[in-house]
Amino acid sequence: MIFDKAGMYDIAALTGSRLGYLREDYGELPTDLSDKLAHDLPDYFRKHLNKDLFVFTCRDNGVIISCCFLYVSEKPPNPSFISGRTGTVMNVYTKKEFRRRGIAGKLLKMLLNEAEELGLDFVELKATDAGYELYKSVGFEDVRSRFHNMKYVIRSEAGKGVVSLLTEKEQAIVDKVIAERAKSRELESDPPHEQDNIPNPFAVLTLEESHYLQEHSYLLKEIELLW
């Protein structure tokens, strides 16, 4: 296996890895959303790769089988990040047949070495229960903060900057997916050989609800907010 950094010649493979990661995280995506992501991701990589986005890969026979992203952002400096430059870990993903071989840990160490060379003040991430011990093993620590982690979701269909209340039907769709996702999270704590039967949270929707979700993509943002 070869460990290295991705280049422009890897854009198609990186798009596939990103979509694979998202499908595992969100469950099977609505077709129109999946198609849009597949269309938009290559352009994003062309604009950002090896500028403010660095991707570390593991290849088996020339094929990328694992990767992780380091996104670098620059903010006005303060005492917590004196240079203003910080990193965010994203898309830690390994194909199923290559998992539990220490590949992701090695890629994360490469990523952290790069962060030090770039002079970043810190690198942060959001850890799932499944990934928590891995991140601890390479040096990440829990963050204690006096601040609340919040965000404002912009629903383009409802108009920028305007907060729209969900209809009863829309809220029911969101509630069904979130409830099913909660069940999936419980199963994710099972031994690895028992995790193949983890249900797709979106499979709980009826055909009519699935079509409605595809036509109203802002509901996915609502689901992501509660995920």
pLDDT value of position 158: 40
Q: Sorting pLDDT into bands at 50, 70 and 90, what band is 215?
A: confident
As a whole number, mean pLDDT of residues 196-208 equals 75
Domain ranges across the chain: 1-145, 151-227
Q: Check residue 81 and report its DSSP letter.
A: B
Give the model confidence (pLDDT) of 107-130 as tens digits. Answer: 999 999 999 999 999 999 988 888
pLDDT value of position 178: 83
- The pLDDT > 90 percentage for the chain reads 51
Q: Which long-range contacts (CB under 8 A, 24 or more apart) does 104-107 make?
A: 104/66, 104/68, 104/134, 105/134, 105/137, 105/138, 106/3, 106/58, 107/3, 107/56, 107/57, 107/58, 107/66, 107/67, 107/68
CA 119 from chain center: how many Å? 24
Q: Check residue 49 and report its DSSP letter.
A: B
What's the chain's average pLDDT? 84
Tell if the pTM clears 0.85, that is, is over it.
Answer: no
Return the CATH architecture of domain 1-145.
3-Layer(aba) Sandwich (3.40)
As a whole number, mean pLDDT of residues 189-210 equals 68
Structure tokens at 199: 């249900």
- Asked if residue 169 has pLDDT above 90, the reply is no
Q: Check residue 43 and report its DSSP letter.
A: H
Q: Sorting pLDDT into bands at 50, 70 and 90, what band is 200?
A: confident
**Which residue did the predictor score with more confidence, 23 or 26?**
23
**Helix, strand, coil in percent for the chain, rounding step 5:** 50, 15, 30
